[in-house]
Structure 1
Amino acid sequence: MASEAARKHPAQGEPGWIGITLSTLGRLLVWLLIAMLFSVIAEWVGMTWFWPDEGLDHSRDMLEREVSYINADFQQSLLTSDPAAYVRAFTDYSYRVLFEYTGIITLVEWLSVPAHPDDGRLVTSLRDGFATIEAYVLAAIAIMQVFFLRLGVLTLAMPVFALFALVAMVDGLVQRDLRRWGGGRESSFVYHHAKRLMLPSIALAWVIYLAMPIAVHPNWIILPFALLNAITVSITAASFKKYL
């Protein structure tokens, strides 16, 4: 009976590294899309209720301030000799792929033309309808440029997380050895919970920074979350079991 049941319900093996990689990339893409959607919706809500006087200028000013932060204070990186140029190139390329190659910008420009008496009824309706939402569409495009700019910054900021985590791991292993030789107590509860927080502490930095509806200096997001990740790594290494 047992062998018959096994034939009917074959055991599923553990996913390989390819499956794990694709699954991780899929989840990352989903979170990036959620962050981008949230940032656009937050800008639309702000334009309607919180900064109606600024309107479209809020998103454009936000983009200019973010670019100024990069040009002024983002001059060194372990991954490229000119991080500011890399971020600008990354943003420009993403803009071309998403808006120019797809024809979205061409469509927006065509719809932005005021309706003419010689236009057909459908064209007139489309252009008149677009005029009511034009500011929101242009604001969304500007916010997506901010999104890609921040995404470029985060890709260059990952060595900061790695450096903080390396120092924290060394400190945690030292604390583990002191606990091991000093007869300190061991807590699997602390270890497992700290281990679960390592990746979320990095993911939160990405989601919060990408979705923030106001201009913010990268250091105000990257450094605190790199420190938070380092704390979780240190606690995980320090609370790892004494004997393997």
Structure 2
Amino acid sequence: MTKRDDTKKDKRANNDSLLNTLLKLPFTIMMMLFISAIVSSVIELLGIYFGWWEQPGVKHSELMLRQELEYLRITLAKNAITAVSGLTVQTLFDNSVGYVFRFFNHIGLFDNPDFTIGIGAYIGAIVNIFLLTFMRFFVFVFSIPLYFIFGYVALVIGMFERDRRRVGGGRESGTLFQLSRNSILPSISIALFLYLAWPDSINPVYIFFPSAFLCATAIAYMTASYKKYT
């Protein structure tokens, strides 16, 4: 009776933990966006101050923003979300933070020579970096199907290896299971943070493809090392 009660308590605790995680997810995402934007802004401002960039003042962040928009048109022109819903990341950006981009472009922020020197360069750079951060987040959202595809393949491979171990009498490894399970979220969150805070233009494929591969590897090992009898 005590064992049954403990099992119920464990299931209830797991359900509560999952619910708390889901409730905290939007707040966690917003905090990651804000922190990565701050980190990227600090790097950009230091680059302007110490002359790390080839382009003066706000021009470097403006060039980054335009190159990222080009990556949107080329790299994510065809993806699963667009194929199903018809919604493109370019449309999502234009109908959200794109309004802010067009507003500053309309008032001449990107063409005003005053924003290549002095305090104006720092203000313009911060605006561009925040726009760039949110745009990169939209890119990540449209890259989620890549994780699902890799994860599904890894799950199938892991289940096959688990069944083979179960039939062959292979040994279980609780340490490997825990390590693999705890590596899934960091393989995604670390890649996302690096992409959001990256101080220069970068093709998202170079970030999310290795991240999806590492995530899938963790899923495969987690499934394969799951206990043989439940």
Q: Does 1:30 pair with 2:31?
A: yes
> Which amino acid is 1:185 matched to?
R
Q: 1:242 aligns to what SS in structure 2? A: coil
Query: 2:214 — aligned with what?
Result: 228
Mark the runs of 5 or more structure 1 residues left unpaired by the alignment.
Answer: 1-12, 115-130
Contact in 2 for aligned 1:90/1:149 (Cα 8 Å): no
| CA separation of 1:71 and 1:83: change in aligned 2, threshold 3 A | farther
> Which amino acid is 1:21 matched to?
L
| CA separation of 1:18 and 1:236: change in aligned 2, threshold 3 A | closer
Note the 1:134-145 alignment, pairs <5 A: 134-145=120-131
CA distance in 1, matches of 2:51, 2:84: 37
- Paired residues in the alignment total 212
Contact in 2 for aligned 1:171/1:234 (Cα 8 Å): yes
**Which stretch of structure 1 is more off in the superposition, 223-232 or 30-39?**
30-39
Note the 1:76-225 alignment, pairs <5 A: 76-81=78-83, 86-95=88-97, 132-225=118-211
Fraction of identical pairs, as percent: 29
- Superimposed CA distance per residue, residues 13-39 of structure 1 (whole angstroms, 9 cap, x where no aligned partner): 854765442222222221221111111
CA distance in 2, matches of 1:242, 1:27: 35
Contact in 2 for aligned 1:176/1:238 (Cα 8 Å): yes
CA distance in 1, matches of 2:60, 2:156: 45
Contact in 2 for aligned 1:75/1:83 (Cα 8 Å): no
Tell me how far 1:52 sits from its aligned partner: 5.1
| CA separation of 1:207 and 1:84: change in aligned 2, threshold 3 A | farther
Q: 1:240 aligns to what SS in structure 2? A: coil
Tell me how far 1:98 sits from its aligned partner: 6.2
- Residue number among 65, 68, 77 corresponding to 1:66 in the alignment: 68
Query: 1:125 — aligned with what?
Result: none
Tell me how far 1:88 sits from its aligned partner: 2.3
Mark the runs of 5 or more structure 2 residues left unpaired by the alignment.
Answer: 1-11
CA distance in 1, matches of 2:128, 2:76: 21
Tell me how far 1:147 sits from its aligned partner: 1.4
CA distance in 2, matches of 1:141, 1:31: 17
CA distance in 2, matches of 1:32, 1:201: 17
> Which amino acid is 2:42 matched to?
I
Query: 1:43 — aligned with what?
Result: 44
CA distance in 1, matches of 2:90, 2:145: 19
Contact in 2 for aligned 1:91/1:149 (Cα 8 Å): yes
CA distance in 2, matches of 1:89, 1:141: 20
| CA separation of 1:152 and 1:229: change in aligned 2, threshold 3 A | same
| CA separation of 1:211 and 1:235: change in aligned 2, threshold 3 A | same
Tell me how far 1:79 sits from its aligned partner: 1.2
Tell me how far 1:196 sits from its aligned partner: 0.6
